[in-house]
Amino acid sequence: MSLFSERLKTKLEHLSNREDSDLFYKNRKPLLIEEGFYSVLDAKKNSYLEFQHRLQELVSFKDGLSLALSSMVEVNVAGGILSKSETNKGKELLQKITNSDFVVATGVSEPKWEGQLKNLTSSFDETYKLTGIKSFVTNGTSANTILWVVPYQNKYSVFAVDVYSQEDKIVKEKITTPFASLASHLKIELTNYSLSSSDLVLEDYGKLGIELRLKELFSLVSLLLGFVNLSFSYGFPSEIKQEWESLSLWRDKAAVELTNENFSELLESFFPFPISPLLESLKHFHGLNSVSELVSIHPDYSLFIWEDGFTKYLTKRKNRSPQT
């Protein structure tokens, strides 16, 4: 049974096929709002398992992987930050992303940061002017606002940057990736961009950052399930079916457990998430020598194989942790 209306699928089919990726997510976001997609950010309506199932199904629609990736990142990261915010700015932005085509992206990674906040070099001067570079901002070219993580008063705080204000202080560079080609990414540099205390969204991003990245990676499990299901819409070969069903059952069980209060600790205990058996079965089915060669079957497999600096940091962190 579908978690989306037939109306959504029809409207997505009729949208422009290869439009400017800057507008791709923004043009489709109102359709997802009509479907109640962003209700996962409402504590009273939150169903984390249903959200994962919706992400998985969304992949099957037209340009679905790009749409699922774009919406997943805004919900998990920007939404995750704004849901924790106690400031007027944070509350205002949360209302906007759940009720309009207003897009909020998040800038964490910087050149040479290697997944560690202590390596961030963005900074304020004494007059609240922000200077820094964010090297990979998903939804960046679609964004109205970017949540900028910056060292501030011995913490890693989050401030809201209006990307349509003070444009003379902003340099943007679009980034393309081999996967989910309609999802937009941006490198952005600010020089003496004026902010104020009213632009503060979150005082301390520190511990939350790990949780949000893990939520992204967990949701990529759902995107992988959806992508493989779409790839074998005619029917699963037996070896792939077994691993797909095993991963799906694990995802569902984990998503239910993640409704507990110790969400962050549980999420980290599950990492690394068990996608390797499914990827290995795909490798064998296609007669490849390594999982990395799956990109020769379809470039979108890169999304599930590629590791950014923060993911590598999480892996090292897990390997250093005492085993229980």
Q: Which CATH number goes with the domain that contains 113?
A: 2.40.110.10
- Where does residue 29 rank: exposed (0-12), middle (13-18), buried (19+ CB within 10 A)? buried
- Cα 240 to Cα 187, 189, 226, 253, 258: the distances in Å are 38, 44, 13, 20, 27
Q: Do 68 and 142 lie in a common domain?
A: no
Distance of CA 282 to the CA centre of its chain: 24
pLDDT digits (tens, 9 = 90+) for 225-250: 999 999 998 899 999 999 999 999 99
What per-residue confidence (pLDDT) applies to 324? 46
Distance of CA 294 to the CA centre of its chain: 22
Alpha carbon distance 47, 236 (integer Å): 29
Tokens describing residue 37: 């997609």
Tokens describing residue 260: 């507990």
Give the residues of the chain that fall short of pLDDT 70. 17-21, 44-46, 260-261, 308-310, 321-324
Name the nearest CA neighbour of 70 among 41, 106, 17, 109: 106
Q: Please identify, among 168, 202, 236, the residue that sits at the C-terminal boundary of a domain.
A: 202
What per-residue confidence (pLDDT) applies to 87? 98
Q: Do 128 and 37 lie in a common domain?
A: no
Q: Please identify, among 151, 176, 202, the residue that sits at the C-terminal boundary of a domain.
A: 202
State how many domains the chain has: 3
What per-residue confidence (pLDDT) applies to 17? 59
- DSSP secondary structure, 173-190, as one string: EEE--SSSTTS-EEEEEE
Q: Do 278 and 251 lie in a common domain?
A: yes
What per-residue confidence (pLDDT) applies to 22? 83
Residue 179: inside a domain: yes
What per-residue confidence (pLDDT) applies to 18? 56
Q: Please identify, among 183, 202, 221, the residue that sits at the C-terminal boundary of a domain.
A: 202
Residue 1: inside a domain: no
What phi and psi, each to the nearest 5 degrees, are found at residue 187? -105, 130
Q: Do 83 and 129 lie in a common domain?
A: no
Please, which residues have CB within 8 angstroms of residue 164's CB and are 6 or more apart in sequence? 144
Tokens describing residue 232: 């074998």
Q: Do 271 and 239 lie in a common domain?
A: yes
Q: Do 167 and 136 lie in a common domain?
A: yes
Tokens describing residue 289: 């020598």
Task: Give me the domain span that covers residue 90.
Answer: 6-99
Residue 290: inside a domain: yes
Q: Do 166 and 210 lie in a common domain?
A: no
What per-residue confidence (pLDDT) applies to 46? 65
Tokens describing residue 77: 């990261």
Residue 157: inside a domain: yes
Residue 215: inside a domain: yes
Q: Do 124 and 227 lie in a common domain?
A: no
Q: Do 93 and 109 lie in a common domain?
A: no
Q: Identify the residue whose tokens are 């040479």.
A: 112
Q: Do 179 and 113 lie in a common domain?
A: yes
Q: Identify the residue whose tokens are 């915010």.
A: 85
Q: Identify the residue whose tokens are 């943007």.
A: 172
Q: Do 212 and 310 lie in a common domain?
A: yes
Alpha carbon distance 167, 193 (integer Å): 9
Q: Do 250 and 176 lie in a common domain?
A: no
